[in-house]
Amino acid sequence: MAIEQLIHTLEQLNTTHIKMITVAESKRDAIKDNKVDQLIVILNQESKLLKQIEQLEVARVSASHEFLQTKGIKSMLNLTLTELVRLVFDPDDKQKLLAVQGELSQHLGKLKDLNQLNQQLIEQSLAFIDYSLEVLAIRPEQEATYQHPGDKHGSQGWSGLFDSRA
């Protein structure tokens, strides 16, 4: 039946999102520890999981449309799970669908929070890198020590540790 296929697809989506949570936590740790090589590996894993999610999403939409057709709805509506639950009359199927929806919603929320945290960590890292480059590239017009105004033959200025002209 179409509802079982829909529930099965949602369970697969849920499992894949759990894997994404694990990857997001690994990404957070790699960002914190400044492990760029490990971060690249994690990003490749994340990309593969995203492709799986895209395929499962297509399967979910297909299963939803098939379920709607079994209910006599010929339109290709994109209904939410909450709207689909209203069309399920078998209590067992309805309970399964609600349970999977709740789990998926919970995991999506956790994944969203982890992704926001990772984004903030990356932005902070980039801000620190920008600040570090600025500090290294500063070219003070005067030395930090006192120099008599008439003494012009002193040092020509500090070039800094990082030459931004190179």
Region 34-42: what's the mean pLDDT? 93
Tell me which of 112 and 83 has the higher pLDDT.
112
Using CB atoms within 10 Å of the CB of residue 92, give its burial: 0 to 12 exposed, 13 to 18 middle, 19+ buried. Answer: exposed
pLDDT of the residue at 80:
84
Residue 145 has pLDDT above 70, yes or no: no
Q: What is the CA radius of gyration of the chain?
A: 28
**What's the pLDDT band for 151 if we cut at 50, 70, 90?**
low
**What's the pLDDT band for 136 if we cut at 50, 70, 90?**
confident
Domains of the chain: 2-137 (1.20.58.300)
Cα 97 from Cα 104, distance rounded (Å)? 10
Q: What is the mean pLDDT of the chain?
A: 86
Region 36-60: what's the mean pLDDT? 95
Region 157-163: what's the mean pLDDT? 52
Tell me which of 2 and 8 has the higher pLDDT.
8
Cα 153 from Cα 136, distance rounded (Å)? 25
pLDDT of the residue at 104:
95
Please state the separation of Cα 124 from the chain's center in Å.
16
CB atoms within 10 A of CB 63: 20
Predicted TM-score of the model (pTM): 0.76
